[in-house]
Chain A
Amino acid sequence: MAPDRTPPPEVICTGLAKVFDSGTEAVQSLDLTFAAGQTTALVGPSGCGKSTVLRMIAGLETPSSGEVQIDGAPPAETLRKAGLSVAFQDPSLLPWRSVRGNIELALSLARRPIDASAIDQLIALVGLDGFGDTRPAALSGGMRQRAAIARALATKPGLLLLDEPFGAVDELTRQQLAQDLPRIWEAQGTTTVLVTHSVSEAVLLSDRVIVLSPRPAKIVADIDIALPRPRMAEMVRETAATDLIEQVFTALSDGMAAADRPLAAQ
């Protein structure tokens, strides 16, 4: 609709690896292609390197080797055009700005026009009606995360990177958000990468689920989710979905077993 839309890009990671200065090897040679306009979920045990992958795609972390290409260019190019946004694992709202103020800041950082009614719509969509002028300190953890999602969507990015966006949200609201939010990014046509710990959420939201091994992250399974859209929260209880969920779980525990790391050691 608006002319400031960036079309969804294709993201290609080749031989992507990260070893931190501390010596921690977080990601080991990852080859991955995120198709334009698709939603891909990354699941994997805690600490396996999911956030690190996301940060490398966003150009916030330099890979130790390998590279990320967004529509054939390095992430810096996309950053320059403010063509992506990240909902960080920790909501990172600026405490001296209200929910609305935080969204406005994102828009002005991205050099986008500020449209008050569009902001109100977004706030309502994430269920924060009436909290637009509240500062983050007076919001619950889940409310802050929803505000961060609204902020990430506000700039209408071509590439949307969500790091456990619903981690602190209660189960029912989670289902509601999982049902409503994809409509926005589908309507906007974004390439979405979603990190989540909830397998059912991964299945419900995405076109494809990538299961990662314990650290250093390697791909254990790459599962296509061919469920019809729009998807409703109830679908997670239908056989088609439960089969897929089962498949992801199996891959996760295979990954754990292969890494010879029992759950307790994580």
Chain B
Amino acid sequence: MTSLTVESPATGQLRGSRATPWLGILIVLAGWELAGHLLTAAFVLAAPSEVIGYLLREWQLMGRALWTTLGNAAAGFLIGNLAALLLAGVALLWPRSERIVTGLALLVFCLPLVATGPILRVFFGPGSGPQIILAALAVYYTTLIPLLVGLRAAPDSWFDLVRSYGRGRFAALIHVRAMAALPYFFTGLQIAAPAAFLGAMVGEFTGAEKGMGVLTIRALRALDVEMTWAVATVATAVAILAYVAIGSLARRVLLSDPPVILATPQSARTQRTAWWDAVLVTLLALAIWTSALWIFNLNPFFAKGPTQVFDALFIAADAAATRATLGGALSETALFLIPGYLTGLVAGAGLAIVLVLAPALSSTAMPLAIALRSVPIVTTAPLVVLLLGRGATGTITLVAIMVFFPTLVACLHGLRQTPGQVLDVFDSYAAGPVTRLIRVRIPAMLPAFFAAARMAVPASVLAITVAEWLATGSGIGSLMALSASLSDYDMLWSSVVIVSALSALGYGLVGMIERRVLATYAPEQLS
């Protein structure tokens, strides 16, 4: 059993508790079954027994769809992770490029899948191209970030050791850097596996012939409650299984749990270099965009370049109307997005604090939270909408749930990282639990909280655009879907640009708040 107590090689952080999530899962299942029976008349919820019944009846249909989606997800997983490895390699060989690489990667990660899907569909036509690419887009960033952290995780003295035997950078890469990065790579893969499934499903929403995403749309259109729940259940189960499988593979290879990483730690760069980076990244993105259109020689009717988007937004005769439509849609979205985002953050951090004050509760809740974090919440969007309606409550709840789980896990992790000796010092002054919480634990939690808050920005945008597209029919997500189906490519590309830019700006804004807060409350956490 020694392997389970082994510290993470590079970070020495606490390992997750080994309690199994079974108790929590049983409670959830029982509550679900009960609710299913209570709400039979409402046609919103199918109980587990009904879901199982449906699966037994329709296992062939479901099996074929699952097989298709798994195949696309696996291909996207492979491509996305290879891309992450490649980008990390570039950043390693040429350290100065790292901030530019991560900046560009973030911008691409902020592309609204809801709009990239239809655009890719036009490029690829029928087939599985868009699904695979969306799956790859959904995973590469979450692998890249831990990899970059991992590649820097080895202490200098290990490199000195290699040098002291007269060996160079290559031996250090093989024997030290790669090995030290391995746990972080697994962390990335673990988060990537469910995300790839999600990406493939979103790709299938955009007019694929088969797959779980297609079934989702069909069930929603037909208002088939059992089918909706069955598809969501299978998608959730697959996501959790993939997460657990990679976790146990990691434990086998590493003899310890992969570390918890949610985003890059804030670098110590100044505000000015941050702006400069942003400008550089934007220019590069524009250059890549223009040259991609030129190289692939795409039909200008649907492939719009930066100048055409600028034209549509500011110069064309209907530019004012376009801007008004976009603005209206965006404010509709913001009205639900911002409350949902904030609720998710507050609820996640709040529950984490409660769980730390009541440790008995957390041994049940923590594994469940970790497992649920892996669920691509978007695949359950239809359920939330079924349950809570197509109005404000449903949408806000969906966004909140999307933000809630990663925040909870991150905050629990941050809270548990409070150095024991510091708490001992406070104990020796007979400080009460509240004092300890405010003076020691919450400051220790802040970096993890903000890392989660940053990553939650693109995630919540994804959640709300998917919900708007699939269900509510309002906001920017619906506008993008509508423009795609009306072949209004000026509007579609403009929305893509604006949504990505706003997501990236939101990410940057949270980062700025993070620096301010950490500088005041936890200055030691800033490198």
Quick one: closest B residue to A85, CB to CB? B164
> Does B157 sit within 8 A of A, measured CB to CB?
yes
Residues on the B chain within 8 Å of A86, using CB? 160-161, 164
With A109-B175, A135-B6 known to touch, is A92 a contact of B160 (CB < 8 Å)? yes
Q: How many residues of A contact B (CB 8 A)?
A: 26
Given contacts A96-B179, A105-B175, A109-B175, contact A138 B164 (CB under 8 A): no
**Chain A 66-92 per-residue mask, 1 if CB under 8 angstroms from chain B, else 0:** 000000000000111110111010101
Check if B453 is an interface residue, CB within 8 A of chain A: no
Q: Indicate if A257 sits at the interface (CB-CB under 8 A).
A: no
The docked-state distance in angstroms from the alpha carbon of A96 to that of B9 is 7
Complex contact A79–B158 (CB within 8 A): no
**Count of interface residues, chain B, beta-carbon cutoff 8 Å:** 24
Report if A47 contacts B (CB, 8 A): no
Among B82-90, B165-173, B194-202, which stretch is in contact with chain A? Answer: B165-173
Contact B176 A79 (CB under 8 A): no
Knowing A94-B176, A105-B175, A109-B175, the reply to whether A88 touches B161 (Cβ < 8 A) is: yes
User: Which of A82, A88, A135 has a CB less than 8 Å from the CB of B157?
Assistant: A88
How far, in whole Å, are A92 and B7 apart by their CA atoms in the complex?
15
Flag B143-169 by CB within 8 Å of A: 1 or 0 each.
000000000000101101111111100
Of residues 103 through 139 on chain A, the ones whose CB sits less than 8 Å from some CB of chain B are: 105-106, 109-110, 135, 137-138
User: Which A residues touch B163, using CB under 8 A?
Assistant: 59-60, 79
Contacts of A137 in B (CB 8 A): 5-7, 9
Chain B residues near A138 (CB, 8 Å)?
2, 5-6
- Of chain A, the residue at the smallest CB distance from B158 is A92
Whether A82 lies near B160 (C-beta < 8 A) is: no
Complex-state Cα separation, A78 to B164, whole angstroms: 9
Question: Of all chain A residues, which has the CB nearest B182?
Answer: A96
Kindly state whether residue B254 has any CB partner on chain A within 8 Å: yes
Q: Which of A60, A92, A96, A155 contacts B254 (CB 8 A)?
A: A96
Task: Tell me the complex Cα distance, A59–B179, Å.
Answer: 25
Least distance between B495 CB and chain A CB atoms (Å): 47
**Of B2, B161, B164, B176, which is in contact with the most chain A CB atoms at under 10 Å from its CB?**
B164
Pick the residue among A84, A94, A105 that contacts B164 (CB under 8 A).
A84
Residue ID in chain A nearest B10 by CB atoms:
A95
With A96-B9, A109-B171 already in contact, the answer to whether A85 and B160 are too (CB < 8 A) is: no
Point out the residues of chain A lying under 8 angstroms from B175, CB to CB: 94, 105, 109
Q: Which 10 A-B pairs have the closest CB atoms?
A: A95-B9, A109-B165, A79-B166, A92-B157, A110-B165, A137-B6, A82-B166, A86-B164, A82-B165, A80-B166
Can you list 5 A-B contacts (CB < 8 A)?
A85-B165, A94-B176, A95-B6, A109-B171, A155-B165
